Chain A
Amino acid sequence: MGNPVFQPSHFMAVVLFALFASIVFGITQRETPRRMIRYGIYCFVLFVGSAIAISWLMFLIAR
């Protein structure tokens, strides 16, 4: 029996990466739970938003 294989789409990979990294950033970089959540959401939006923006930029450059 082989190892299980997970083949997400590129966007799903971005979302998963952003989710887990944002959780760790939020917990480690802020002190209070409220600020942790806010910073975590901020990081998640920046991760995913910048990936989408750069993707569109590369798409337009490649045309």
Chain B
Amino acid sequence: MRYSQSGMATIENKNAAANSGSLADAQPGAPSGAKMGVKSGAQEGFVYLPLIAGWLVPGAGHFLLRKWGRGALLSGSILAMFVLGLTMQGKLYSNAHEILDILGLAGDLGNGLLYIVSQILGLGAAQTQTAIADYGTRFIVVAGLLNVIAAVDAHNLRTGRKS
């Protein structure tokens, strides 16, 4: 069973909207640049730029697409989560000897430049010794995972899968 809900950018919903005449450019695969607030012809160029920019800098993918409000909220949320994780003395994963460390490192890498710069500056605790520090470690990992979701969302906006 395919998961579909009203308001989601599924093919079925787009077809229904197109049939009702409320969304002129809702044919599957058709570019929806005008609805995205992007100039027509914006489908030209490097399609993966918002994805990569959004991964490197939280919210940058949405800023590139002129989604200022969404970008600011995403950027603020992810940055706040990452910084709070560090101030809670959370750990930045740097080696991957065990499976849980590999998963943690994968999550941390989702933060893009935040993670790289923090590693260079030597931020983050070497070991977590309190429950709050452990929460901080999770905050950092989840910030990275949320950043990946935000970057993929920017990519979907860029390709017209979402408006």
Contact = CB atoms under 8 A, between A and B. Distances in A.
A29 B150 CA distance: 10
B131 interface: yes
Interface size bucket, A side?
20 to 34
Contact of B142 (A4, A21, A30, A35): A21
A25 to B, nearest CB: 8
Secondary structure dominating the interface of A: helix
Nearest to A38: B7
Contact of A20 (B78, B123, B131, B132): B78
A54 to B, nearest CB: 15
A20 to B, nearest CB: 4
Interface of A: 3-8, 10, 13, 16-17, 19-21, 23-25, 27-32, 35
Nearest to A10: B131
Contact of B78 (A5, A13, A24): A24
Nearest to B85: A6
Contact of A5 (B73, B80, B89, B142): B89
Do most interface residues of chain B lie in helix, strand or loop, or is the interface mixed?
Answer: helix
Contacts, number: 68
Interface of B: 7-9, 70, 73-74, 77-78, 80-81, 84, 86-89, 123, 131-132, 135, 138-139, 142-143, 146, 149-150, 152-153, 162-163
A43 to B, nearest CB: 12
B84 A24 contact: no
Nearest to A29: B8
A35 B8 CA distance: 10
Nearest to B89: A5
Contacts of B8: 29-31
A27 B88 contact: no
A27 B54 CA distance: 14
A13 B135 contact: yes
A16 B7 CA distance: 27
A20 B81 contact: yes
A25 B135 CA distance: 20
Given A16-B84, A17-B142, A24-B149, A8 B9 contact: no
